[in-house]
Amino acid sequence: MTYDSSNVFARILKGEIPCKKLHEDAHSLAFPDISPKADLHVLVLPKGSYVDFSDFTQNASDEEIVAWVRAINVVAQQHGMDKTGFRLIVNQGANGGQEVPHLHAHVLGGQKLGSMLPE
């Protein structure tokens, strides 16, 4: 899939739409989800233009991949979720229910999250 540079996260990364930065490094940015699904719900993005996890895994540099994985844990640590527990979700494509075509991890916690999928 071709990267759509007008998607909402691309616009946040370009500074066209504001966000509350919780973490930023050379390759990653984290901010709260605008419509939280748990008491803590943070999104962690690579800054590079990657549509989804498969695109990122195949085309990102090792440095970008390491930065994104580490940024996820920095966010978990910021909120004590590394101790209390959390869930990572990466939606991809139609079956995954991905809405925004720029890779992002959902970091969810701050409460018991229940079953992995609706029953």
Q: Which residues bind ligand AMP (CB under 6 A)?
A: 8, 17, 19, 33-35, 43, 91, 97-100
* Active-site residue identified among 27, 102, 104, 106: 104
Q: Which is nearer to ligand AMP, 61 or 96 (CB)?
A: 96
Nearer to ligand AMP (CB atom), residue 73 or residue 98: 98
Closer residue to ligand AMP, CB minimum distance, 19 or 67: 19
Phi-psi region of 15 (alpha: psi -120 to 50; beta: other; left: phi over 0): left
Separation of first and last alpha carbons in the chain: 31
Nearest distance from residue 51's CB to ligand AMP, in Å?
11
- The nearest distance, CB 32 to ligand AMP, in angstroms, is 7
Least separation in angstroms between residue 90's CB and ligand AMP is 7
Residue 104 a catalytic site member: yes
Q: Letter for the amino acid at 40?
A: L
Catalytic residue annotation: 104
